[in-house]
Amino acid sequence: MIDEYFNGIIRDVNNVIADYIKGDIKQLYEASYYLFQAGGKRLRPLMLVCSSDLVGGERKRAVLAGASVEVLHTFTLIHDDIMDEDNLRRGMPTVHVKYGIPMAILAGDLLHAKAFQILNDALEGLESTLITKAIRMFTDAILVISEGQALDMQFEDRKSVTENEYLDMITRKTAKLFSTSTGLGALIGKATDEGVKKLEEFGLLLGISFQIVDDILGLTANEEELGKPLYSDIREGKKTILVVKALEIATEDEKKIILQNLGNRGATKEELRQTADLIKKYSLDYAYELADKYYKLAIDRLESIEWKNELAGKALKYIAEFTVKRRK
Amino acid sequence: MIDEYFNGIIRDVNNVIADYIKGDIKQLYEASYYLFQAGGKRLRPLMLVCSSDLVGGERKRAVLAGASVEVLHTFTLIHDDIMDEDNLRRGMPTVHVKYGIPMAILAGDLLHAKAFQILNDALEGLESTLITKAIRMFTDAILVISEGQALDMQFEDRKSVTENEYLDMITRKTAKLFSTSTGLGALIGKATDEGVKKLEEFGLLLGISFQIVDDILGLTANEEELGKPLYSDIREGKKTILVVKALEIATEDEKKIILQNLGNRGATKEELRQTADLIKKYSLDYAYELADKYYKLAIDRLESIEWKNELAGKALKYIAEFTVKRRK
């Protein structure tokens, strides 16, 4: 039942994306469309459409808005991979590895504009104040995500980061787009201000939980599950919640080993594995509990909203559960 | 009189830009604001505000929309400089040279979103259909500009390009943002559909003339006027109108010399100068005449519109004249 519901949304969203991402400059549109074909869970459009359904919104608008959020997300992935020098994503060479950095920058820019084009079509015919609000929500998200990515890069050069700084960074980099997805679904579904706010909070809390689980998987999943090289977070010096926590409580000698290999792109596999084991020893339980805490807060928020569509509510619960229990 | 008129617009536009491009992540906002302080003619906002004035639009909206177009233009400059490996712009190190490629990509992305944020504020309170039209015009421009940049890069790897292909490329890469500036000014100034169309055509024709003159200056201006290294177009293998024309009519031996040095990043100063002289011999007169042809067509279009503001009309004429007569 829920599977069918999800598959219907994903099919419609994918059709919109395929419809919009085409044009007469072959290589540019190929590079722009490449990552959509490589897979992806379409979590954000699912959350957007479910949120719209939950408050009784128009499905056609929600599907368009869902596609716009996925296109936006994909633009950030393409540019992030260049900045982080990541070579694999979803088990495939990243866009800049396949098409070169200039074309990858341009493909990201094209998708950034496409996201607005699709959003604009999703909003056509709504009243003026609603359109302005929706576009403000969308642009705010991109600004905040850019700030989050800047913080993420700055943290790579820092020896220590506090848990609060970490939470601020992932709130901007990851959770903001989750809250924008659920909030935008509610907004164009013509929810009350209160409804929009609660669904935004649900998305934000879930997004924090999602990123913590992502950090955990970076040190516990295998290469196939990850779709990228093992321990790339360590190699890039990412200050994940596991690193933040381990550096807080490891012994001085252990800290030294961790800091030696963190951000060392020349570290051997054995050094990386040893470092990962050290980090996990001190942080894995803590990180799981933290992810669970935000997951439960998210569910609370979801249950405080009036559900106009039982299936959509159950689907959002299912998505929330999936984010903390997933293996990839 | 016209000077005062221009200065007032530029001051207001600069204030809006300074107001919007700030935030709590210091390095990101510094990198994003950097190029605005390095100068720039603010041609596009001037054209937008003059077009709005010409049709009797609200000045406050036009200034905001003008700022959004300048912010958009600046985002494309930052990303283009990375793609083209340009190290100097407006006489200063380019953003990626000063802040690194990752921060430059991110600064461009931030400005891209900021452009929409400012535009959205410019449109607030207008009727729904007008907002949708304006955002469609703006997103279309970015898509077309990205296509133009892709063509420009593809042409670098090609031995020959026809004049029509060249005109198609610069129409997308450069002229489209000129026509969007004048068209958007007319649209939010509540011009008739006919008025919007004619002002778009004026901008497009002027933009083509502008790019041809830019190509000419690339081989005739000095380094200080250019604000970038001499003959960088040749070093990067750009298929400017001068190159297109010269390759069409030079002798086989001369063609060989031109093709040897075009796109050769290791060419000596003497080789570059020799190549530039060869190219100019065959193309300079032709290029000037072509620029003049488009300039005159632009003026015709401008004169076919009903002017509600004499000063704004004269100002647009002045801008048009400046684009063909400028030395930088």
> Cβ of B153 and A102 within 8 Å?
yes
- Minimum distance, in Å, between the CA of residue A109 and any CA atom of chain B: 7
Name which of B103, B105, B113 is nearest A139 (Cβ-Cβ).
B113
Average pLDDT score, chain B: 96
Nearest residue on chain B to A104, alpha-carbon basis? B83
In the structure encoding, which two tokens stand for residue A26, read together? 């072959």
Share of chain A above pLDDT 70, in %: 100
Q: Residue B24 is which amino acid?
A: D
Q: Does A116 reach chain B within 8 Å, measured CB to CB? A: yes
Q: What are phi and psi of A240, to 5 degrees?
A: -75, 170
Nearest residue on chain B to A85, alpha-carbon basis? B102
Q: Does A249 reach chain B within 8 Å, measured CB to CB? A: no
Q: Classify residue A304 as exposed, middle or buried by CB count within 10 Å of its CB (0-12, 13-18, 19+).
A: exposed
Count the Cβ atoms, other than its own, within 10 Å of residue B156.
14
Cβ–Cβ pairs < 8 A, chains A and B: 140
In the structure encoding, which two tokens stand for residue A137, read together? 């929500």
> What's the total number of domains in chain A?
1
Residue B39, pLDDT score = 87
Cα–Cα distance, B152 to B73 (Å, whole number): 17
- Minimum distance, in Å, between the CA of residue A152 and any CA atom of chain B: 11
Strand boundaries in chain A, DSSP class E: 88-89, 92-93
| Cβ–Cβ < 8 Å for B111, B21 | yes
Name which of A25, A126, A139 is nearest B116 (Cβ-Cβ).
A139
Q: How many alpha carbons fall within 13 Å on the CB side of residue A74?
A: 32
Compute the average pLDDT of residues A303-318. Answer: 97
Exposure letters B299-317 (e unless 16+ CB within 10 A, then b): bebbeebebebeebbbbbb
Cα–Cα distance, B99 to B35 (Å, whole number): 12
In B, residues 196-215, which contact A (CB 8 Å cutoff)?
Answer: none
Residue B123, pLDDT score = 98
Q: At what angle do helices B193-220 and B310-325 cross, to 10 degrees?
A: 30
3 state SS of B288: helix
Q: Does A123 reach chain B within 8 Å, measured CB to CB? A: yes
Q: At what angle do helices A269-303 and A252-261 cross, to 10 degrees?
A: 100
| Cβ–Cβ < 8 Å for A61, A123 | yes
Q: Residue A300 is which amino acid?
A: D
> Cβ of B146 and A116 within 8 Å?
no
- Minimum distance, in Å, between the CA of residue B143 and any CA atom of chain A: 6
Predicted ipTM of the assembly: 0.97
- Minimum distance, in Å, between the CA of residue B284 and any CA atom of chain A: 30
DSSP element (H, E) containing B89: strand B88-89
> Count of H helices and E strands in chain B?
16, 2
In A, residues 142-181, which contact B (CB 8 Å cutoff)?
Answer: 142-143, 146-147, 149-151, 153-154
DSSP string, B232-262: HHHHTT---HHHHHHHHHS-HHHHHHHHHHT
Residue of B27, B83, B103, B109 to mutate for A, most A C-beta atoms under 10 A: B109
In the structure encoding, which two tokens stand for residue B1, read together? 């009189």
Chain B residues inside the 8 Å CB shell of A27: 150, 154
> Cβ of A114 and B82 within 8 Å?
no
DSSP element (H, E) containing A139: helix A128-156
| Cβ–Cβ < 8 Å for A153, A231 | no
Residue B130, pLDDT score = 98
Q: pLDDT for B128-177, tens place per residue? A: 999 999 999 999 999 999 999 999 999 999 989 999 999 999 999 999 99
Cα–Cα distance, A64 to A118 (Å, whole number): 6
> Cβ of A117 and B139 within 8 Å?
yes
Q: How does pLDDT run along chain B (328 residues), one tens digit per residue?
A: 899 999 999 999 999 999 999 999 999 999 999 999 988 999 999 999 999 999 999 999 999 999 999 999 999 999 999 999 999 999 999 999 999 999 999 999 999 999 999 999 999 999 999 999 999 999 999 999 999 999 999 999 998 999 999 999 999 999 999 999 999 999 999 999 999 999 999 999 999 999 999 999 999 999 888 888 889 999 999 999 999 999 999 999 999 999 999 999 899 999 999 999 999 999 999 999 999 999 999 999 999 999 999 999 999 999 999 998 887 7
Residue given tokens 């609660």 in the structure block: A198
Residue of A32, A77, A116 to mutate for B, most B C-beta atoms under 10 A: A116
Full residue range of the structural domain in which residue B176 is found: 2-325
Q: pLDDT for B282-325, tens place per residue? A: 999 999 999 999 999 999 999 999 999 999 999 999 999 999 88
In A, residues 17-76, which contact B (CB 8 Å cutoff)?
Answer: 23-25, 27-28, 76
Q: What is the CATH number of the domain that holds B302?
A: 1.10.600.10
Q: Residue B9 is which amino acid?
A: I
Q: Does B117 reach chain A within 8 Å, measured CB to CB? A: yes
Q: Residue A87 is which amino acid?
A: N
Contacts of B228 (CB under 8 A, 6+ apart): B86, B87, B88, B89, B91
| Cβ–Cβ < 8 Å for B260, B234 | no
Cα–Cα distance, B304 to A301 (Å, whole number): 60
Closest CA to A180 of A143, A128, A127, A129: A143
Q: Does A15 reach chain B within 8 Å, measured CB to CB? A: no
